[in-house]
Amino acid sequence: MSSDPIVVLVPNEEGQEIVDAVDGLRAVVYDPQAALPDDARTARVLIAPFLSTSDTTKIVDGLPDLELVQLLTAGAEAWIGRLPDGVALSDGRGAHGGATAEWVVSVLLAVYRHLPGFVRSQDEGQWTYHRTEELAGKRILIVGAGDVAENTLARLDGFGVTTTLVGRRARDGVHGWDELPSLLPEHDAVVLIVPLTDETRGMVDAEFLAAMPDGALLVNGARGPVADTDALVAELTSGRLRAAVDVTDPEPLPEGHPLWSAPNLLLTPHVGGSVPLAMDRAYTVAAEQLAYLVRGEEPPNVVHGAY
């Protein structure tokens, strides 16, 4: 292995110090919207901008020595299938699970304690006293069994809820996706925290939603295209289901989109992981992954197969 430090392209100065603190790495700051710096051509690692799009992936075209793209997010859908042969992809799993789980618990409490309605009443100067529901006693189905799920389970502990975990494949303590048709009718809320893949795109369709009981709550903290927007709007408009979503399809929502005015919906603008320490945590995870590369080992967060 060469004694020269591995050149790592970092999209802003915020992460430069964290990356440089790892022996064997040298961070070079680049502007995702401008030409790459002169020493970028020797870079073996690209840390992608926080919210990458398919256009962002074009950066790799000018990096002949590239070996790894390291993400600052857990979602890798913008990069999968768009990298040259021999270039690995490592996600930011572990950086944002706590903040996203906090969002999940926040919207569960907000919906069940009727907080959006009380805020509207406050704006109108109306004292609309009434009894609300409560989170305690609810049966929560969590679809997705990764880092966010683990953090969500930890934060729901103590609220007196019953939780069921669902992953791609059944294993100890986790049900398989093939069991969803029988599980959906038995739960008061469904929390989506899966990655966006060919397998999950549109998985929450009209049939999925129809299997949820009347009055149930859908919480989407995953990606917008995981749910069929038209099917969701139909259920919300009918009043049969409720939803809280941090992600939409399309995103951001254009003016006049039906989700803006859909009843029974709590909508936030993809802020689940947007907290003050988000980038510090993301770069810390990235630096931990790159330390494996320095040792000649594969980073644990490398994305394999269908993701």
Tell me, yes or no, whether 301 lies in a domain: no
Q: Is the pLDDT of residue 191 over 90?
A: yes
Distance CA 298, CA 290 (A): 9
Same domain, 138 and 181: yes
Domain count, the chain: 2
Tell me, yes or no, whether 304 lies in a domain: no
Tell me, yes or no, whether 1 lies in a domain: no
Q: Is the pLDDT of residue 226 over 60?
A: yes
Distance CA 161, CA 249 (A): 30
Per-residue pLDDT averaged across 5-23, rounded?
94
Per-residue pLDDT averaged across 100-117, rounded?
98
* Phi-psi label, residue 160: left if phi above 0, alpha if psi -120 to 50, beta otherwise: left
pLDDT of residue 305: 55
Same domain, 35 and 154: no
Same domain, 80 and 111: no
Same domain, 11 and 108: no
Same domain, 172 and 40: no
Same domain, 38 and 137: no
pLDDT of residue 150: 96
Per-residue pLDDT averaged across 125-136, rounded?
98
pLDDT band at 96 (very low <50, low <70, confident <90, very high): very high
Distance CA 114, CA 246 (A): 18
Same domain, 123 and 232: yes
Same domain, 34 and 106: no
Distance CA 146, CA 269 (A): 23
Same domain, 185 and 120: yes
Per-residue pLDDT averaged across 163-183, rounded?
96
pLDDT of residue 50: 87
Q: Is the pLDDT of residue 18 over 70?
A: yes
Catalytic residue ranges: 223, 251, 270
pLDDT band at 2 (very low <50, low <70, confident <90, very high): low
Distance CA 169, CA 230 (A): 28
Range of the domain at 125: 97-267
Q: Is the pLDDT of residue 265 over 60?
A: yes
Q: Is the pLDDT of residue 259 over 60?
A: yes
pLDDT band at 132 (very low <50, low <70, confident <90, very high): very high
Greater model confidence, 215 or 61:
215
Same domain, 159 and 286: no
Residue with tokens 């049969």: 240
| CATH number for 62 | 3.40.50.720
Tell me, yes or no, whether 299 lies in a domain: no
Per-residue pLDDT averaged across 18-31, rounded?
95
Tell me, yes or no, whether 192 lies in a domain: yes
pLDDT of residue 307: 38
Q: Where are the beta strands (DSSP E) in 114-188?
A: 139-143, 162-167, 175-176
Tell me, yes or no, whether 245 lies in a domain: yes
Q: Is the pLDDT of residue 306 over 50?
A: no
Same domain, 33 and 142: no
Tell me, yes or no, whether 307 lies in a domain: no
Same domain, 102 and 86: no
Mean pLDDT, the chain, integer = 94
Largest CA distance in the chain: 70
Tell me, yes or no, whether 176 lies in a domain: yes
Q: Is the pLDDT of residue 147 over 50?
A: yes
Of 55, 71, 54, 57, the residue nearest 15 (C-alpha) = 71
Burial level of 201, CB count in 10 A (0-12/13-18/19+)?
A: middle
Residue with tokens 């409720």: 242
Distance CA 84, CA 188 (A): 44
**Tens digits of residue pLDDT in 30-53:** 998 889 998 888 999 999 998 777
